[in-house]
Amino acid sequence: MSPAGCSHVNGYKVDNWKQNLRVIYQCFVWSGTAETRRRKVLQGDAGWTELAKSCICHMCGAHLNRLHSCLYCVFFGCFTKKHIHEHAKNKRHNLAVDLLYGGIYCFVCQDYIYDKDMEQIAKEEQRKAWKLQGIGEKYTTWEPTKRELELLRHNPKRRKITTNCTIGLRGLINLGNTCFMNCIVQALTHTPLLRDFFLSDRHKCEMQSNSCLVCEMSQLFQEFYSGHRSPHIPFRLLHLVWTHARHLAGYEQQDAHEFLIAALDVLHRHCKGDTIRDDNGKKTNNPNHCNCIIDQIFTGGLQSDVTCQVCHGVSTTIDPFWDISLDLPGSSTPFWPLSPGGDGSTVNGESHLSGSTTLTDCLRRFTRPEHLGSSAKIKCGGCHSYQESTKQLTMKKLPIVACFHLKRFEHSAKLRRKITTYVSFPLELDMTPFMASSKESRMNGQYQQSVEVLNNDNKYSLFAVVNHQGTLESGHYTSFIRQHKDQWFKCDDAIITKASIKDVLDSEGYLLFYHKQFLEYE
């Protein structure tokens, strides 16, 4: 959308557009009266009464999936499954309103837009709905007074954020083989949504003693973004990690990946004030249905399809995950090149040199069908007997932050060693080919790698890389952190130095952190 705003709204502003928009906000967005909330239908208009029996998608019948209403005609369509997109394309109706939040979406601009007149109508109808519900104004926009503006100007601690600003960059003292912890802390403190959560003081602690890791992380974020340049000493964090993850206690060198999972687990358990409740108001203990900040950001859904080789019946399970561990060439696990040849082609933005392995290769291998063999037969529900089968993993739900663990440390009965195979990884990653929906489309003969299918919903940007130098017995962890767009820094315990993009992409890579480019809400 251009800085001047969306030009496509002008085609909508004809005849009684204001009244029509008010009707949509009154009955289908804010629904101020009990009757509109119950029926979601406009009384007195035969067209709306007949067609809009309730707020459900007119194509699939779902009433969730981010329902949108066309502004030109009576049509409800879900945004997640792109039924509203199909309607907009077929009818050339370029504007729709989100029925949950009231935002106006333009399908030409491919973005939510702002229009002063439409925004005014939305706010007026929202205030009317609040008044009808007896709750008054939920919030008012804060505008600083002249006195407050004067105080802000003369505040000596006031800091201006610029493109070259280094606030948020701070070294960490190594407390004795704690580089594994320091590099993960650097990655977490530069995770955008996690930073926003902790700096807005949204954690509600319910723990009795000073043993809450979430509270300590909140203090850590305050230290990082205070503007101080001297290295921080994370002794309290180390103590709490030793307390809650005893397998990491002691001054021996630990695995950074193991620390990451342990830290996320403890943070998840300590976010008690943020867990959702069931219909009876009780807290749910199901890890698949938690809305704490850790699960909102890091949890994805991994789909496992087991197919019987006799009747071809499919058994599907979906499990939550915080990271994806990927096998590498050179390990004892068989690995073969799955790239489109060594012809120097580019896949997912990765430069594909002859004989090299890419992150896309590893993901292709991870999501390929695997024959389980005669020693691992499963009892088929269709055959009612034990049969050989194939298993395939795909992504059912992508997390906001995708963490890829390259399995460089191999531990077996025969050997313990580090795999140093170079794996090239891109600055931008499209996860569409590895989605369960892409697999289903291919099976139905509908999958085409067009611009529309490879949409922005599944695109990620690299923002942190953790590296391990040395051997399995004696090594050191460092990390690369993206501070601003295309501005990277190397964090080596207390020392932080500027790094180039080439430095980042040429590094070995142990943990790769990617952030979604476009965020969806549910």
**CA dihedral sign, ordered 482, 488, 490, 491:** negative
Residues 32, 135 contacting (CB under 8 angstroms): no
Q: Name 301's bridge partners.
A: 320, 397
Contact 390, 307 (CB under 8 A): yes
Q: Which of 55, 70, 179, 380 is catalytic?
A: 179
Residues in the chain: 522
Q: How many CB atoms lie within 10 A of CB 170?
A: 23
> How many other CB atoms sit within 10 Å of the CB of residue 107?
18
Q: Is 73 an annotated catalytic residue?
A: no
Provide Rg for the chain, Cα atoms. 26
Three-state SS string across 98-151, please? ECCCCCEEECCCCEEECCHHHHHHHHHHHHHHHHHCCCCCCCCCCCCCHHHHHH
**Cβ(127)–Cβ(17) under 8 Å?**
no
**d(C-alpha 63, C-alpha 42), whole Å:** 18
Is 290 in the active site?
A: no
> What is the DSSP-derived secondary structure letter of residue 437?
H
Which one is catalytic: 8, 58, 63, 476? 476
Any idea of the CA torsion for 106, 107, 109, 111, to the nearest 10 degrees?
A: 60
The Cβ-side half-sphere exposure at 255, using a 13 Å CA radius, reads 16
Q: Which residues contact residue 342 at a Cβ distance below 8 angstroms, ignoring those fewer than 6 apart?
A: 352, 353, 354, 355, 356
Q: What are phi and psi of 199, to 5 degrees?
A: -75, -15
Cα→Cα distances 1→84, 95, 105, 107, Å: 20, 14, 11, 11
- Please enumerate in sequence order all residues whose Cβ is within 8 A of that of 243, keeping only pairs 6 or more positions apart, or say none: 211
Q: Give the CA count within 13 Å in the CB-facing half-sphere of 247.
A: 7
Strands 370-371 and 300-308: unpaired
What is the residue whose two structure tokens read 């949890």? 299
| Cross-strand pairs, 464 | 481, 513
User: Can you list the pairs that 469-472 forms with residues at least 24 positions away whose Cβ atoms lie under 8 Å?
Assistant: 469/508, 471/418, 472/409, 472/416, 472/417, 472/418
Inter-residue contact 445 to 415 (CB < 8 Å): no
Catalytic residue numbers read 179, 476
